[in-house]
Structures are given as C-alpha cells and as structure tokens.
C-alpha cells in the first residue's frame, strides 16, 4: 500500500520526460522575443492607475448610466461616434491601397448619415450588408513596415506603443473630436471639452459590455505584461489583415 | 526512358495518396471538432442542470480534446526545465485547474453564438489549425484552434490535441508565457503558483 504513491509519481515522471522531448518541437513557435521596454516602471504605474480609474470611476458611472439609458439608445450613441470617425478609416484604408474597403466605408457613411439619421443607426450593415473596416494611422505605418517601438500605456486610453501613440496625431486631424487649432469644423474646441466627450464615449462603450474588462483581467497574474502582450499581438494581427 | 515515366507516375500516385490521407485526417478532425461543439451546446442549453453541474459536464466533455499538460509546460518556457519534480507536478495541476475555470467563465457568457469553420491548415504532418468564426448577433470573433498529434496516444485523450487557442490573433499560450516570464523576473515560482491558485 505504501508503494502506491511512489509508483504514481514515477509514472508522472515518466510522462514528464516524454513531454520534454516533445517540447523541443514547439520551441520556435513560442519563443518570446526580448521586448524593448524602457518605460516599464511608468507603464506599470499607469496600468494600475487605469485599472483603478476603471474600478472606482468608469465602472460605477457606466453602471448608473446603463440604468438610465436603454440599450438601444446606447447602441445608437456608439454608432454615432463610429460614424464620426469615417474620415480616419477612409484615409487609412486608401493609404494602404485597400480601395474596396474605402469604397465600402464611403457607402456606409453616406447611407448611415442620411437614412441612419446622422449615424445613430446602422442601416448600411443591416440592409445593405456593408461592413466596417477599422483602420488607423498606426496600422498604416505598420502596413509599410514601421515597427511598433517601445510599449507605452496612455492614461484613460490604455495600452499603446510609440508608433501608435504618434499616429494619434494624424488620426486626430481627421476626427471631428479634437482640441487642436484648425481652420475647419470640429465638435470640441478646448481640451476639457475633448476629454469630456472622450470620457463619455468610453463610459457609453463600457456600458454596452460591462463584464468585458473583468473577463479579460481574469486570467492575468501580472496585469501590465498581460495587457501589453494582448495589445501587441492584437495590433500585429490587425496590421496583417 | 519508360522507366523514368513509371517512376514519375508512381511518385504522382504516391503524392496523391499522401495528400488524400492528409485531407481525410483534416476532415476527420473537423467533424470531431464540430461534434464536440454540438455536444457542448447541448449541455449549455440544458436548463435542467445547475450552473455548477453544467460547468462540470462541459469541462469533462472538453478535457479529452485539450493537452493542458503541454500548455502548462510551454507557458513556462525554459523555466520549466529548472523546476524540481515536485514543483513541476504542482505547477501543471494548478495551471490545468486555472484553464478549466477560465473556460467555464467564458462559456457562462455564451449566448446563441454559432461556430463556423472557415479554413483548415496543416503546416506540418503533426500539426493542424482549425480556423473558425464565432458568429454572434453583434459581431464575429476570429478563433483559431491549434492541434498537435502526440507521438503516442494517451488513454482517455483524443488522437489530436489542442495546445493553443488564438482569439483575434491573441494566443492564450503566448500571453501566459509573456506574463509568467515577466512575473518570474522579480518573483519566485512559488509566488507564481500561489497567484495561479488564487485564480481557480
């Protein structure tokens, strides 16, 4: 009887050594390249700041907001914002030579702005089967081979990297929600207005899927590298498409 | 000259045969995969079961198709080789437990979604990737199930086993590997195991 446990351990050992040979075959597939991460300390602090911001401010606000506003209204608000970002998607699709996507985006914008009442509804998808094609300047740069550079966590916006951070500027020029001096129309003029609108957009977005952040966070043992890796892998995939 | 033709013909026939074999392997695996999905959907939609029973049944049904042990080992990378036997076994157990919990939590969020197989790739003789779309009312999620065929089949396990899942290009294994690596830079494997234990 005493022999029993030692036997099962030796069986397990045998199994482990069998796997050791097999592990070799997976070596290349999962070799994590050494990431250049000079802002590690700042990024960690900002990840915690964003996490707290979510837990103690955005989530409770989104909860209350969800309670007062019907889901259809909130979906319409999200659609409205998405429609506003059409120029960014159009230009970046075009810059990457994705002309078909750019034309589909144009169709969406025309239909949703008119029939869809300023973008509040999405008849382009429902009735015309026109899909959205998210492209931003970071993806455009990536498309032409620009590397991501070091990872940077932004306040409120979350994970980013040098390439995507710099790309926020050209994209902002194509967005009606911005605070830079311009000779053409924009929805917000000063940065407090801009931040207010952006926070509202974020709260509205969170309210549509309250558990999304928690679901993602669930598997993290170390929040910062976890979100950093998810972001970089996701961007890589977006650029490849 | 005739000889050469014969040889070429033989080679062509052989290649065709090998290709057919691979195609059979792929469609077999695809059918198994879809059967499994249907099995799980039946459990999910069975309203008579309590939530715990339901999750238990789902995990039981999925376990034979996953190579959780291999995932645990790959998630640690080179550190794996340095573990004592005792720690190695404990780590595998904790990782497997965490995986099962994580899966149950994800299935809890399931709502009338449909799985469509888009493409099947076989980059190597012993690797197959099933590329699927998870279609819901709102949007479509691109999910890739990566299978490998172990040298010898284990009792209670399928012939082909999943060793990684990619959701929107985000590999579960790569993410764990990155975060474990960074975690172990400042903390010990014992700390990591404690953190994993807390998650399940």
Query: What is the count of structural domains for chain B?
Result: 1
What does the pLDDT read at residue A33? 65
Give chain B's mean pLDDT: 84
- Identify which of A224, A94, A212, A15 has the alpha carbon closest to the alpha carbon of residue B181: A224
User: A39-54 pLDDT, tens per residue?
Assistant: 999 999 999 999 999 9
Tokens for A129, please give them. 């089967």
Task: Supply the CATH number for residue B68's domain.
Answer: 3.10.450.710
CB contact under 8 A, A30 and B177: yes
CB contact under 8 A, B70 and A237: no
Residues in chain B with CB shorter than 8 Å from the CB of A219 are 98, 102, 172, 175-176, 199
- The whole-model pTM stands at 0.82
Least confident of A84-93, A152-161, B85-94, B110-119: B110-119
Distances from the Cα of A134 to the Cαs of A43, A94, A105, B80, B100, in angstroms?
26, 12, 9, 40, 33
Contact A31, B174 (CB under 8 A): no
CB contact under 8 A, B170 and A12: no
CB contact under 8 A, B89 and A230: no
Domain extents for chain A? 86-134
Distances from the Cα of A145 to the Cαs of A119, A133, A236, A239, in angstroms?
34, 20, 11, 10
Q: Higher-confidence residue: B40 or B164?
A: B164
Kindly list the residues of chain A whose beta carbon comes within 8 Å of any beta carbon in chain B: 9, 12-13, 15-16, 18-20, 22-23, 25-26, 30, 32, 211, 215, 218-222, 224-226, 228-230, 233-234, 236-238, 240
d(CA A28, CA A22): 13
The torsion region of residue A129 among left (phi > 0), alpha (psi -120 to 50) and beta comes to: left
d(CA A39, CA A37): 6
What does the pLDDT read at residue A154? 93
Quick check: B2 pLDDT over 70? no
Contacts of A80 (CB under 8 A, 6+ apart): A118, A119, A120
Closest Cβ opposite residue A22 in set B105, B150, B182: B150
Closest chain A C-alpha to B7 CA, distance in angstroms:
34
What does the pLDDT read at residue A15? 52
CB contact, 8 Å: B173 with chain A? yes
Which residues constitute the domain of residue B108? 2-199
Quick check: B155 pLDDT over 80? no
From the candidates B144, B175, B176, B194, which should be mutated to test the interface with A, based on the most A CB atoms within 10 A? B175
Residue with tokens 């915690």: A48
Q: What is the mean pLDDT of residues B120-143?
A: 85
CB contact under 8 A, A219 and B178: no
Closest chain B C-alpha to A191 CA, distance in angstroms:
33
User: B22-81 pLDDT, tens per residue?
Assistant: 778 888 888 888 888 888 888 888 778 887 888 888 888 888 888 888 888 889 888 888
CB contact under 8 A, A229 and B88: no
Give me the DSSP letters along B37-54. HHHHHHHHH-TTS-HHHH
- Identify which of A86, A104, A172, A108 has the alpha carbon closest to the alpha carbon of residue A137: A172
d(CA B53, CA B96): 19
d(CA A188, CA A180): 9
From the candidates A12, A41, A229, which should be mutated to test the interface with B, based on the most B CB atoms within 10 A? A229
Residue-wise pLDDT tens for chain A (241 aa)? Answer: 334 444 444 554 545 555 566 666 776 677 666 667 889 999 999 999 999 999 999 999 999 999 999 999 999 999 999 999 999 999 999 999 999 999 999 999 999 999 888 888 888 888 888 888 889 999 999 999 999 999 999 998 899 999 999 999 888 888 888 777 777 777 777 888 888 898 899 999 999 888 888 888 888 888 999 999 999 999 999 998 8
Contacts of A94 (CB under 8 A, 6+ apart): A102
What does the pLDDT read at residue A34? 65
CB contact under 8 A, B175 and A229: yes
CB contact under 8 A, B175 and A224: no
CA angle at B103 for the pair B100 and B47, rounded to the nearest 5°: 105
CB contact under 8 A, B199 and A225: no
Quick check: B112 pLDDT over 60? yes
d(CA A225, CA A230): 8
Beta partners for residue B171, in sequence order: B166
């Amino acid at each position: 009887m005493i022999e029993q446990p030692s036997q099962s351990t030796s069986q397990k050992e045998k199994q482990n050594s069998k796997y050791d040979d097999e592990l070799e075959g997976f070596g290349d597939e999962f070799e994590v390249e050494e990431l250049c991460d000079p802002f590690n300390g700042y990024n960690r602090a900002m990840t915690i700041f964003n996490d707290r911001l979510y837990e103690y401010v955005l989530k409770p606000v989104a909860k209350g907001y969800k309670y007062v506003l019907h889901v259809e209204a909130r979906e319409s608000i999200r659609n409205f914002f998405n429609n506003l970002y059409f120029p960014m998607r159009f230009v970046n699709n075009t810059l990457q030579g994705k002309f078909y996507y750019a034309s589909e985006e144009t169709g969406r914008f025309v239909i949703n702005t008119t029939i869809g009442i300023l973008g509040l509804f999405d008849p382009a998808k429902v009735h015309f089967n026109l899909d959205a094609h998210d492209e931003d300047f970071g993806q455009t740069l990536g498309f032409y081979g620009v590397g991501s550079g070091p990872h940077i966590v932004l306040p409120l916006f979350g994970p980013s990297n040098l390439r995507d951070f710099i790309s926020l500027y050209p994209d902002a020029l194509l967005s009606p929600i911005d605070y830079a001096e311009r000779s053409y129309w924009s929805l917000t003029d000063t940065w407090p207005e801009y931040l207010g609108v952006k926070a509202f957009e974020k709260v509205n977005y969170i309210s549509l899927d309250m558990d999304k952040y928690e679901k993602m966070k669930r598997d993290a043992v170390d929040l910062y590298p976890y979100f950093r890796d998810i972001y970089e892998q996701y961007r890589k995939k977006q650029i490849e498409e | 000259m005739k000889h050469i033709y014969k040889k070429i013909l033989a080679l062509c026939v052989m290649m065709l045969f090998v290709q057919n074999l691979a195609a059979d392997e792929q469609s077999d695996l695809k059918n198994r995969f879809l059967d499994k999905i249907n099995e799980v959907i039946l459990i999910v939609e069975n309203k008579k079961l309590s939530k715990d029973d339901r999750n238990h049944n789902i995990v039981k049904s999925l376990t034979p198709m996953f190579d959780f042990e291999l995932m645990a080992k790959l998630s640690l990378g080179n550190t794996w080789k340095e573990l004592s036997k005792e720690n190695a076994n404990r780590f595998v157990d904790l990782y497997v437990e965490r995986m099962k919990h994580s899966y149950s939590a994800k299935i809890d969020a399931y709502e009338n979604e449909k799985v469509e197989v888009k493409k099947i790739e076989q980059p190597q003789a012993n690797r197959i990737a099933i590329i699927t779309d998870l279609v819901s009312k709102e949007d479509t999620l691109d999910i890739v199930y990566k299978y490998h065929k172990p040298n010898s089949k284990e009792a209670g396990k399928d012939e082909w086993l999943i060793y990684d899942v990619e959701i929107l290009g985000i590999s579960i294994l790569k993410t764990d590997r990155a975060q474990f690596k960074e975690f172990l830079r400042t903390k010990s494997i014992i700390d990591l195991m404690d953190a994993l234990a807390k998650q399940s």
